[in-house]
Amino acid sequence: MTGVQTCALPICFPVTIAHPVLDENNEVQYIIHRVEEVTDFVQLAEESEKTAQQNNLLESQIERMKIEIIKRSKELEKLNAQLDKKVIHQVQRRQFCHHRPK
């Protein structure tokens, strides 16, 4: 092996790391140079970000739906109250008609 590593993926994210090796006088003797493949980590981070964005979108949709449900619920309450009044009015009217002397 020549020490050269290639990435088989269409997009690769290598990280270069260099470590100096010092002698007893703190002089640089060697520099150890290596490349680490971090493509999987970067892709996972990107997927995590996309998932977080999707979650935020879904949460905002849920909030809008909750608001819509509350709004519709209040509309139904109002309509039911109006219907109750009409029913009571009709019942009273029928009772009045049945109790009138003929």
Profile the chain (102 residues) by mean pLDDT over runs of 10 residues. 54 87 94 90 92 97 97 97 93 78 60
pLDDT at 44: 92
SS3 33: strand
2: in domain: no
User: What is residue 20's DSSP assignment?
Assistant: E
Number of Cβ within 10 Å of residue 12's Cβ equals: 13
Print the domain residue range for 21: 14-99
pLDDT at 6: 58
4: in domain: no
39: in domain: yes
Single pTM value for the model: 0.51
9: in domain: no
59: in domain: yes
49: in domain: yes
CA–CA separation, 99 vs 102, rounded Å? 9
3: in domain: no
18: in domain: yes
